[in-house]
Chain A
Amino acid sequence: DGGITQSPKYLFRKEGQNVTLSCEQNLNHDAMYWYRQDPGQGLRLIYYSQIVNDFQKGDIAEGYSVSREKKESFPLTVTSAQKNPTAFYLCASSSGDYVGYEQYFGPGTRLTVT
């Protein structure tokens, strides 16, 4: 089956620890995205990548970092600098590096930091 996988589904961390969220896709998509979703809110873009070894900051990149060493993988690290990291994190991919192609979403990772 083609799709996007995110792991783990639930993640718990202590404050002050960095944590990395996994995102893998086998759709052969060039573009990949990370969004954050808070209760009652829309999706806010954290980072996106159009090609391997290249990525751009979204609207709320502070306290986050990414890498894109492989086309299939786009891991997100939530650092201790992120003031309010508890949220639902969604990874997405699309076939084009420009709008006009739908974004496919993974199942999400719910991160809780205490």
Chain B
Amino acid sequence: GESVGLHLPTLSVQEGDNSIINCAYSNSASDYFIWYKQESGKGPQFIIDIRSNMDKRQGQRVTVLLNKTVKHLSLQIAATQPGDSAVYFCAEGIRGSTLGRLYFGRGTQLTVWP
């Protein structure tokens, strides 16, 4: 079955530094990936997504990198701010799947120190 995991359960960074959050996936058929941010006691918020025909996608202060060879996904946050402190989840799925579902990893807790 599919599984989505994270290399590091916690990450602490200094304000202003760049953060890199990693994610491994096991289903080579997965071709759609999403990063979500979840603040304490709230629902996850969409950050950025990427399809398997891309290696890199950029958003505002965030970049997602996809390495299909080693089935690895990363989220880079530039100039990390205290408001970025949250749990970050990656999720994978198969586009066009009639099941219409995503598989989520456990998440990485990002803490930003002033």
Contact = CB atoms under 8 A, between A and B. Distances in A.
B46 A104 contact: yes
B100 to A, nearest CB: 5
B114 interface: no
A35 to B, nearest CB: 8
B98 A105 contact: no
Q: In the complex, which range does the number of interface residues on chain B fall in?
A: 20 to 34
A98 B31 CA distance: 12
Contacts of A94: 100
Nearest to B51: A100
A92 B98 CA distance: 17
B42 A99 contact: no
B97 interface: yes
Interface of A: 4, 6, 31, 33, 35, 40-45, 48, 50, 56, 58, 90, 92, 94, 96-100, 102-108, 110
B32 A99 contact: yes
Contacts of A50: 100
B49 interface: yes
Contact of A42 (B45, B46, B100, B105): B105
Contact of B104 (A42, A96, A97, A104): A42
Given A40-B106, A42-B4, A106-B43, A97 B100 contact: yes
A83 to B, nearest CB: 22
Nearest to A103: B102
